[in-house]
Structure 1
Amino acid sequence: MPTPSEPAPAGAGAVRTLIAPLRYVQGRGALARVGEFVAPLGRTPLVVADDAVWGFTGGTVRDSFAAAGLPLVRDGFGTYATAAAVEAIAARIGETGSDVVVGVGGGSTIDAVKAAGHLAGVRWASVPTLASTDAPCSALSVIYTEEGAFEEYRFFPRNPDLVLVDTQVVANAPVRFLVAGVGDALATWVEARAVARTDSETMAGGVPTLTGTALARLSWDVLWENAESAVEAVRHHLVTPAVEKVVEANTLLSGLGFESGGLAAAHAIHNGLTAVPHTHGLTHGEKVNIGTLTQLVLEGAPRAEIVAFVELTTRLGLPNTLTEVGLGVDDVDALTTVARAATAEGETIHAMPFAVRVPDLVDALRSLETLSTTIRDRAALPAPAAHRA
């Protein structure tokens, strides 16, 4: 495992803060206990899950709620956490008289539920069925347009009251989603160390604590030691100690690390990539992986660190070139659109220790093709199968 450069010590005098979910629950079979953990939060829950997710979770949730003496009202969900979706869920909370709303499914479902719970003034719980993002633990939601482009962050005064992850459910899902979660989580330390160098404000509402930065680093270390073993296990729908560790790193450690350690260029570049239609079929973590590699290029990170990152993420199946995300080095207009969105006012790229201008970012993105293919060729690594033309 490479040892990335450490951030410089942060200055004194600023307010430091760490935020976290009220309770985190993880393990094989945890979904069968969801009623037990929801019951202390409210007695009239509204569950939000799309039809596909409800098909493999509904029976377990229904039985668990019955055992806890809870009524079950379930609403469906669409594709993206849009403003309209949030308002519709909030309206349903009012109609049903619910005092807690539970999101079961992927990151968009959970983000919409968090935003709706805040809007309706009730408590909210996250029950992710994938370990594909660190969204379940955070006190924010990413809101998209109906077409899937990033629109805004919404921030809330508290984190979810409950995050519950059933690792067998995660292991039963297509392995691409666990890999995507690794792509999202690997960015956590790369971004947090940049934020620590500048003492920029994090999404927790202050500058980073030592704890937030350390958790970001721990996420990185856990993934380097366990990600490949976990991915192989999940290909066969197995839950092993490596899977448990990676699920925790993807969900809890990355969630705490990004929110209280800080975001920088990688997630801003992800947001920029959503501004072009070429990338809309990709997962969040696949786009973030392009952002992380681009951040390393912008930083002038040591060559050994970049090589190790490309080799690991290629072996996992994550994209590292523009071609693999539907773009190309000659798509200058599209890349300029990406760069402008990524460097917009308020974006997290401004937490970097130096200014990032649109031409700088376009050139960094264009450099990925030759950089990654050269590293792969020298290591005799083919492009990830999911992204080959």
Structure 2
Amino acid sequence: MANILISPSKYVQGAGEMKKLGDYAQAYGKKALVLITESGYKRIGATVDGSFQNTETEPVYEYFNKECSKTEINRLVEIMNERGCDVVIGIGGGKILDTAKAVAYYKEVPVLICPTIASTDAPCSALSVIYTDAGVFEEYLFLRANPNMVLMDTEIIAKSPVRLTIAGMGDALATYFEARACQASGAATCAGGKVTSAAIALAKLCFDTLMEEGVKAKLALEAGACTPAVEKIVEANTLLSGIGFESGGLAGAHAIHNGFTVLEECHHMNHGEKVAFGTITQLVLENIPAEELEDIIDWCIELGLPVTLKELGITEVTDEKIMAVATAACAENDTLHNLPFEVTPETVCAAIKAADAYGKYFLGE
């Protein structure tokens, strides 16, 4: 099995970069389908529209219908055909971005991804998650290539709810530990090969950045400030974690996150919040040194990421619930088996209980 690394062709990040979107789009097409929500257009539509003035690319705006579903993708493909669009631009959150990537995939045209939040590492990936019209997960659509461009306007992102950027840090926290596990086990990554040294280096830089800049960025965002720490965290959440998870691989943290989706009381939690607790659980399974575990739990507490089952929304903890989570996490086709040792529902159940106990201990409960 070869070592493989994949990444977006171009990554642009900085305050006010959305004002240059039209200039960037000129390199990819003459008529752009711009997918955005109605509320998103009210917030930043004037900025986006202004960016296309005095350019050779014409924007065709279309409001997103809430779900990344086959119905919505087909609707947008038809609009592309009717209007003669030759490039897709997605502006907003995860489902819009996944839809834009899918439409571009089927039309075989370039796609520009413009997240307005930094809550996950998905924008850079060659993957779209497809749901039914009712919002139920249907399938993964694996794309031929990563986005042609990812544009992060940190001025816009800094105005989004702080909790979303913190959740992005929770998602990014898993990156290095999962990549390290895949390297140790020789597991295949989402890129279709083994981990490269470059992916491991980026994953480690992601972790180091989170530890050094995370709390500073949280405080700055709460003060409404876009500082160098915020810039570094946006890059860690999006680019470093994006390449790190896709070319470094997934292991315990994301599988345990998937396990928690079987409990309805966790559904209100953000993806990255559940991944953070999944990361702590993976580290318990790996039995890392106590000082290292304490540092990571303390970091999560400072940021407000969940370190106990209660903080995940599970107020009545039972053996049956935790075993259900552990069993789902150990599904044959999930990534928990990328760890370099055998895992069972019983060992995962024990690790979840221990992670919860450690969280309570460090919270002083």
2:19 is aligned to 32
> Is it true that 1:112 corresponds to 2:112 in the alignment?
no
- Relative distance call for 1:328 and 1:84 in structure 2 (3 A) is farther
2:113 maps to which of 104, 126, 133: 126
1:245 is aligned to 232
Residue ranges of structure 2 left out of the alignment (5+ in a row): none
**Partners of 1:283 and 1:96 in 2: CA distance:** 37
1:167 maps to which of 150, 154, 163: 154
SS of residue in 1 equivalent to 2:58: coil
1:3 is aligned to none
Q: Could you give the per-residue CA deviations for residues 188-243 of structure 1, whole angstroms, max 9, x where no partner exists?
A: 00111101101111111110110011100000011111111111111122111111
> Is it true that 1:203 corresponds to 2:190 in the alignment?
yes
1:259 is aligned to 246
**Partners of 1:81 and 1:331 in 2: CA distance:** 35
2:336 is aligned to 349
SS of residue in 2 equivalent to 1:163: strand
2:40 is aligned to 53
**Partners of 1:266 and 1:135 in 2: CA distance:** 16
Letter in 2 for 1:107: G
- Relative distance call for 1:156 and 1:51 in structure 2 (3 A) is same
**Partners of 2:350 and 2:188 in 1: CA distance:** 27
Contact map agreement 1:150 1:271 (CA 8 A) in 2: no
- Relative distance call for 1:176 and 1:88 in structure 2 (3 A) is same
Aligned residues: 365
**Partners of 2:132 and 2:156 in 1: CA distance:** 29
Q: Which region of structure 1 is more displaced relative to structure 2, 80-89 or 302-311? A: 80-89
2:145 is aligned to 158
Q: CA deviation at 1:284?
A: 1.5
Give percent identity, aligned residues only: 43
Q: Could you give the per-residue CA deviations for residues 242-301 of structure 1, whole angstroms, max 9, x where no partner exists?
A: 111111111111111111111111112222223332222221111111211111111112
Alignment of 1:284-363 (within 5 A): 284-328=271-315, 330-363=317-350
SS of residue in 2 equivalent to 1:164: strand
Q: Which region of structure 1 is more displaced relative to structure 2, 357-366 or 44-53? A: 357-366
Contact map agreement 2:309 2:317 (CA 8 A) in 1: no
**Partners of 2:298 and 2:69 in 1: CA distance:** 36
1:20 is aligned to 7
TM-score, normalising length: structure 1: 0.88
**Partners of 2:69 and 2:263 in 1: CA distance:** 17
Q: Which region of structure 1 is more displaced relative to structure 2, 338-347 or 195-204? A: 338-347
Contact map agreement 1:328 1:366 (CA 8 A) in 2: no
- Relative distance call for 1:98 and 1:147 in structure 2 (3 A) is same
Q: CA deviation at 1:150?
A: 4.7
**Partners of 1:310 and 1:221 in 2: CA distance:** 15
TM-score, normalising length: structure 2: 0.94
Contact map agreement 1:168 1:237 (CA 8 A) in 2: no
> Is it true that 1:282 corresponds to 2:266 in the alignment?
no
Q: CA deviation at 1:147?
A: 6.2
Q: CA deviation at 1:96?
A: 3.0
Q: Which region of structure 1 is more displaced relative to structure 2, 327-336 or 112-121? A: 327-336
SS of residue in 1 equivalent to 2:7: coil
Cα root mean square deviation, aligned: 1.9
Q: CA deviation at 1:51?
A: 2.0
Contact map agreement 2:28 2:110 (CA 8 A) in 1: yes
